Structure 1
Amino acid sequence: MPQKDYVRASRPKPASKTKGKARPARGAKAQAASQKPWILIGLVLCVLLAFVYGLWFLRQQAPVVTPPEAPAPAVTVKKDELPPKPVAEPYQYIEELKNKEVTVEVTEQRRSGPAQLQCGSFRQQTQAEAMKAQIAFAGITADVRRTEGTNGVWFRVVLGPYESRRAATVDMNRLRQMGINTCQVRNWA
């Protein structure tokens, strides 16, 4: 297998020489190159001279002498004294609150009657049985009820009856966690 020279392959190729381009005169390029170092040297010398002058100027300034401070006279600090305690309490609300009785009217919560969950209503019994199987995977027992109405036969997937709407809501939330979002709480009749 032949060896490949990766060093030469990565070098850029020299630019091709074309006859149509005009070249600048050699003298102008050489003259511009010779002026650049002198300009740079001149700038550095100017900055250096300004720095030296600044140091010399600071040295010529007279030092500022501050007179020594006399010790401050001792000042006695007075303690903050509290105002005298009042003889009688000016406000009566404190005594009124101690002796006040508050009566609160408590209304008894009305208990909701039994409730049920309806999770689906289908035209075909096989669809209702499939929904019942999904609910069974959540560990809840469901029933499929056949109902006849003015618009035909329906198969409803029903859970319950539950003692209250709150108990039905607990199972509805468990089913929502399993991905069954079609359940609704209804009053049991």
Structure 2
Amino acid sequence: MDYANRKQPPKRKPGQTRRGGKAAAAQRKVPWAIVLLAVLLVAALVGGLRFIAGGKDAGDANNSEVTQQPVTETPASSTGPVAAPMPKKPEERWQYIEELENLEVEVDVPERELGPPKLMQCGSFRKRADAERLRAAIALQGLESEIYPSNNNTWYRVVLGPYETKRDAEAERHKLQRASIHGCQIWNWNL
């Protein structure tokens, strides 16, 4: 569509609308049926909410205040009605509570079979000085390690242990990892 060359719409007279002027506006009727239906729906909604809430109308509330009188207890010496004493607290009829309090449970825990002793190797070096440096860092963590030469004194292994269980070895390995000593391996070695 060419907006530059299009025709201008005809100018309207004051008070005239696009749909035919004042006469068309006067001919529009208000849909009274829809307005009446909307008012009825709102009234039904309000009534339903009051019914659900259990509320009373304002007129009923005023009447109930007038008819209700506060109930006061009368002393036992007066001739008026006497309030019944409170019923006794019912006794528990359950016996399992007492049985469970005195019950002891016995559990058979099988003995754990211990495998071969575990050793943890934290390093293997060609120079003994490097192995001594790692051993000193481990000693600063409160753990004791040994240096074992292997291959005719060409390699030096830094080893911790022996440990009875792998759990003990894992605990010390985590302690070394917190101190930034990584690379320790747990093996089923027997020296």
TM-score range, shorter chain: 0.3 to 0.5
TM-score (normalised: structure 2)? 0.44
The higher radius of gyration belongs to 1
